[in-house]
Structure 1
C-alpha cells in the first residue's frame, strides 16, 4: 500500500471537498480504496494467525465509508479527511480501529460511549474485578503505547447503584472505555508500519478482551 499516495490524495480532497471534484478523481479514489482494502485483507490474515479468538474481518467489511453522514451532521464536509477501518469486528463488541488521515492517524480500540446496558455491564465487571483492569492499564508498556483511557465525558459523581467511595470510582465514572495510539507520517510510510500495528494490537488485546467479556456475559 502506497500510504504516501493515499495521504497526498486526502490532502487534495480536503482542499476540494465537493462531489464535483470527487467525480473527476473517482478513478484515483477507487484505486486507492481497493489498495487499502487489499492491504487490510493481508493484515486481517496476519492478526488472525496471532490471536486464536480473532474474528475474521475482510477489508471490504471493515472499511468505513468516506462520505460523512450529512443527514445528522449537516455542518460537516461532504467527505472525511481519512480512511478508516475496523478489524476483529465481531458483532456487538469493541473492534480494533485503524485510521489514516491528514489531521489525525491512529490505532484505537474499546467501547466508544456504549449503550446504557453495555456500560452497566462494564461497570459491573469493574465492581467485580476492577483490579484486573487496573493491572492492564498500569502495565508500563501499555502506558507507553496509550497513556491511559481516552478522556471523554465522565460522571461527576458515582453511577447509580455504586458508592462514591468505591475503590475504582474513577474508572466507574467513565462513559467511554477506549484507548488511542497516535501515528505519525514517518511511521505510516515506513517499511515497518505493519509490524508496528501488530505490536500495538497485541498490547491492546488484554484491554479489549476484558471489555468484550464484560459485555458478553
Structure 2
C-alpha cells in the first residue's frame, strides 16, 4: 500500500458512496487504513523526538472514522471524502491535524469554531498577552508557511466584556483561531513529504502551545 493507492481508493469510494460498495471492498479499505495507521505511527515517534512535551498518540488512536455522523448531518454522504487524523492529541486541546482527501489535503492546527467557553479562554489570553500571539503570527517563516489565520466571519463589534478600542480588537473579534498548510497530491507522493510534515509541526508548535495554554490554564 502507498499514498497513491490510498487516493485511488478514496476516488473510487466517492464514485460509489454506499454500504454495498464498501462491503464489497472491505479488504481494500482496511489495507489502506492500515497503511495510514502505520505511517501515522512512524510520524508519532518522529514528532516525539523533536518535542519533549509531545503527547504520544499511536496511529490507531490518531486516525478518525471515515463514516460521516449522519445523526447530526443526515444530508451528508455515508462516507467522508478523506482520511483524517490528529497527532499530539491531548483531550480538549487543539491537536496537529492531517487530512488526506480527494478534494483537500492539508495540515492544520488550532481551534475552528470552538465552544463559547474555549473561545472566552482564548480571548482572555489575548487580553493578557496578545502581543505574544501577534509575534507568532507575524514571524516571517510562519507567514510563508501558513499565510494568515484561516478566514472566518468575525464579530461586527467587540465581544462582551471587551472594549471596541482594545489594542487587540482584530483578534478578539475572531470566532476561530486556526492555520492550514495545503499540499498537492504530488507533494504527498514525494520522498520529502515526511520532512515537510515535521517542518510544519515545528513551525506551528508555538501557535498551538499558546492556544492550548490559554484553554487549559
Q: Output the TM-score relative to the length of structure 1.
A: 0.98
SS at match of 1:57: coil
Aligned position for 2:13: 13
Question: What is the match of residue 74 of structure 1?
Answer: 74
Unpaired segments ≥5 residues, structure 2: none
Q: Does 1:159 align with 2:151?
A: no
Deviations 1:78-101 (A, max 9, x none): 100101000000111100000001
Q: Which digits, 9 at most, give the CA deviation of each residue in 1:93-150, with x for residues without a partner?
A: 1000000011000000011222212111110110111111001001111111111111
Q: Residue 66 of structure 2: SS of its match in structure 1?
A: coil
Q: Distance in 1 between matches of 2:166 and 2:89?
A: 33
Matched, 1:116 2:121: no
1:149 and 1:173 map into 2 onto residues whose CA distance is 13
Output the CA distance in 2 between the equivalents of 1:174 and 1:150.
Answer: 10
Runs in 1 of length 4+ with deviation above 3 angstroms? none
CA distance in 1, matches of 2:50, 2:15: 40
Q: Which runs of 5+ in 1 are unaligned?
A: none
RMSD (CA atoms): 0.8
**What pairs with 1:2-151 in structure 2 (closer than 5 Å)?**
2-151=2-151
1:189 matches 2:193: no
2:171 partner SS: helix
